[in-house]
Amino acid sequence: MSVLVGKDTKLCVQGITGKSGAFHARGCMEYGTQVVAGVTPARGGETFEEKVPIFDTVGEAREKTGCNATMIFVPPEFAADAILEAADANVELIICITEGIPVMDMMRVQEILKSSPSRLIGPNCPGIITPGQCKIGIMPGYIHKPGHIGVVSRSGTLTYEAVWQLTCRGKGQSTCIGIGGDPIIGTTTLDAVKLFAEDPDTHGIILIGEIGGSTEEEAAEWIKAHCDKPVAGFIAGATAPPGRRMGHAGAIISGGKGTAAAKKEALRAAGIAIAETPSSIADTLLTLMK
Tell me the catalytic residues: 248
Indicate the DSSP class of residue 139.
S
Separation CA 257–CA 263 (nearest Å): 9
Identity of the amino acid at 3: V
**Measured distance CA(246)–CA(163) in Å, rounded:** 23
45-59 as b/e, with b when 16 or more CB fall inside 10 Å? Answer: eeebeeebbbbeebb
CA distance 156 to 139: 8
Other Cβ atoms closer than 10 A to 244: 11
* Residues 153 and 165 sit within 8 Å (Cβ to Cβ): no
Q: How far apart are CA 150 and CA 68, in angstroms?
A: 22
Given CA atoms 181, 182, 188, 189 in this order, what sign does their dihedral have?
positive
DSSP helix/strand/coil, 98: coil
Sign (positive or negative) of CA dihedral 129, 133, 135, 136: negative
As a whole number of angstroms, the distance between CA 79 and CA 91 comes to: 16
Instruction: Please answer whether residues 72 and 86 qualify as being in contact, where contact means their C-beta atoms are separated by less than 8 angstroms.
Output: yes
